[in-house]
Chain A
């Protein structure tokens, strides 16, 4: 069954200080799919994510979610930033951070209630972090920090989840847990858009991929877009790993497996 587009990007050019980092992107992302944004460093992955989240304004074109401006649908999305983007010495417990996902703008009196605490506890359990609920966040490992960020995003109960390299600097156990959670979300009919670095694992865990190298190289199901031509256009042709990746994908398409336990 063909699913509906949840993200619609048209003629999108965006960047910083009047220097475009991405040019004339045109693609759609299907609902209920696990989609990866892939490309080398400097290919504009983060810029594209910032456009989708409405953190920067595009120079031309648009990035719509559910056919609307992102500002209209913020209650339906959530975001897991890179864990390096914050100061972990901040005085907050794990519970405090997860509760941050529960705030919704609009009301004057914005204190949190019992329902919010229950939701936060639920997601702490789901991410396996409930025993650390009262720990100061600075004492967490890299993988635990990423799980706290995931729990904070999921506490918003989003239909569409954005993640920025969630597996970077994360231990194998946490990576497995995070991947398991993401898989469950897809099974529940939610959509995921993830900026991802590792090409080998991408081939195994993603449904769809957007290959980016400041311009769009290809977008679509992994089994279709992961071919030699596209990957060398994205990463440059001198990567010997490319043929291995293509082999893997064609042998084993669209399967969820822990990327850390596989050898390329």
Chain B
């Protein structure tokens, strides 16, 4: 069965994830997505316990806040205690994830909160999660509204000050000497990445979300020589992977989020091989 809701949701998720991913890949901070996706588990549990329902915005709020907290902890450990960034990422997110699993085991039994859906997501259930019937929001599933809000936030963040994002991503110290408030910009970016992870993860799970974020961006980087083009190509590849992956899933009857990441990964591999060939030809 082809569901327009599932396709549109995954398209939007892929596009939003690839925007955040572009900046993470350039800053060699790709693993952060994985860290956030796992570390928000305790936030989910707390939100769930307080709201006692799965669709409450409290859950999003707590999860996104936990994601941001984890990001800041990693940053802080690295900057002030001089812990190597991979080490601090590993330390922080595994501890948070363990805490979350403890929470799920203790409180998750009489709730339909289980580790499977957290790890693998449930894209096919998306159409059944809708806002209250009778309101105009009922027109589309929650996930579509969430992703549209996110897309709007990315536009507000990036469009008016695009040159500044370029400068900060390339050379953060130079941007700082220009008097740009780079810490605030960083925080805004990480908050959106965190929110993007939280909202994607219900659909595609804690593991595959990294593929959605990083693969299109990493592929695009192999082809372009300007940041604008990298972002545009990254979005296009994300959209293509979502559509291609959905078609593949429908054809061989698989979970769509899996095939989407597989298609994305294939793009990356092919680009890598092609670009290596062309480099050899020039050299």
Which residues of A line the B interface, CB within 8 A?
Answer: 17, 53-55, 71, 74-75, 77-79, 81, 85-87, 89-93, 96-97, 99-105, 108-112, 136, 152, 156
Contact = CB atoms under 8 A, between A and B. Distances in A.
A100 B221 CA distance: 20
Contacts of B55: none
B110 interface: no
Query: Of A53, A91, A93, which is in contact with the most chain B CB atoms at under 10 Å from its CB?
Result: A91
Contact of A103 (B26, B28, B163): B163
Contacts of A77: 177
B174 interface: yes
B78 to A, nearest CB: 13
B173 A85 contact: yes
Given A90-B26, A103-B167, A71 B179 contact: yes
Interface stretch (B32-40, B189-197, B226-234): B226-234
A139 to B, nearest CB: 9
Q: Which of B176, B226, B229: most chain A Cβ within 10 A?
A: B226
13 contacts: A54-B177, A78-B177, A85-B173, A90-B26, A90-B169, A91-B230, A92-B166, A100-B170, A103-B175, A110-B161, A110-B164, A111-B163, A152-B174
Given A74-B179, A91-B221, A91-B229, A96 B166 contact: yes
Interface in B168-191: 169-171, 173-181
Contacts of A111: 160, 162-163
B275 to A, nearest CB: 12
Contact of A81 (B166, B173, B225, B229): B173
Nearest to A52: B177
A103 B227 contact: no
A71 B178 CA distance: 9
Interface of B: 26, 28, 80, 82, 160-164, 166-167, 169-171, 173-181, 221, 224-227, 229-230
A208 to B, nearest CB: 22
B171 A100 contact: yes
A97 B175 CA distance: 12
Given A136-B225, A156-B178, A86 B163 contact: no
A244 B230 CA distance: 53
A55 B175 CA distance: 11
B228 to A, nearest CB: 9
Given A54-B177, A105-B181, A100 B226 contact: no
A10 B33 CA distance: 45
Contact of B226 (A87, A91, A110): A91
B168 to A, nearest CB: 9
Given A110-B160, A110-B163, A105 B178 contact: yes
Contacts of B229: 91
Given A55-B176, A55-B177, A85-B173, A103 B164 contact: yes
Contacts of A85: 171, 173
B178 A91 contact: no
B170 A92 contact: yes
A105 B179 contact: yes
Contacts of B226: 91-93, 96
Nearest to A152: B174
A108 B179 CA distance: 15
Between B26, B80, B225, the greatest number of chain A beta carbons within 10 A of the residue's beta carbon is seen for B225
Nearest to B223: A91
Contacts of B82: 17
